[in-house]
Amino acid sequence: MKAAIYPGSFDPVTYGHLDVIHRAASIFDELTVSVLNNVMKTPLFSVEERVKILMEATAELPNVKVEAFSGLLIDYAAKKDIHVAIRGLRAITDFEYELQIAQTNKLLSKGKLDTMFLTTSLEYAYLSSTSVKEIASFNGDISQCVPPFVAKLIYEKYGHRK
Ligand code: PNS
């Protein structure tokens, strides 16, 4: 069985992430979307909220599961006996950062964890969780960026009613 992990912060999940999830789920038999519980950052949504949101957003994909993880990705992947991590590449600006993470993971895992990049579909190439949060914080329109139920939850966090 071909299995992969798609790790990320997903704070919050965007249509760009969902595009990568759909495409990776059609390539692999099983895809685990792994939500980083990063104690160094203060996210908008708790890790439990992000997992719940992702579960709802991927409910129609039977071979996708969602989990939280903390610590090193290579340790988490080794425990699950998974050897491929998926990452989305939006533009050349992502490349340097992503290449650094991929090479570090390859080195630390002694070659056991490889990274596969999926280029984000062009219509989502501009999207980032950070800009979605900024737009929503000013009560701007994020309907093209995230599913309606996610937009509602984001606006609620910023005290906006839609
Ligand atoms: O969505 P993000 O924030 O760009 O995802 C980054 C992520 C979660 C893939 C990366 O920060 C990660 O894997 N963190 C876990 C800690 C780790 O393994 N660090 C070593 C890689 S340099």
- The answer on pLDDT for 34 being more than 90 is yes
**CA angle (29 as vertex; 26, 33 as ends), nearest 5:** 80
Distance 37 CA to ligand 1 centre (A): 10
Give Cα 43 to chain centroid, integer Å.
Answer: 14
What value does the mean pLDDT of the chain take?
Answer: 95
pTM given for the model: 0.96
Rounded distance, CA 29 to CA 62, Å?
Answer: 10
- The answer on pLDDT for 45 being more than 80 is yes
Q: Write the pLDDT tens digit of every residue in 49-79.
A: 999 999 999 999 999 999 999 999 999 999 9
Q: Write the pLDDT tens digit of every residue in 74-102.
A: 999 999 999 999 999 988 888 999 999 99
Residue 30 CB neighbours (<10 A): 15
Q: What percentage of the chain has pLDDT greater than the value 90?
A: 87
Q: Which residue ranges have their beta carbon within 6 Å of ligand 1? A: 7-9, 36, 72-73, 101, 104-105
Number of residues written out for the chain: 162
- SS3 of 98-158: the string is HHHHHHHHHHHCCCCCEEEEEECCHHHCCCCHHHHHHHHHCCCCCCCCCCHHHHHHHHHHC
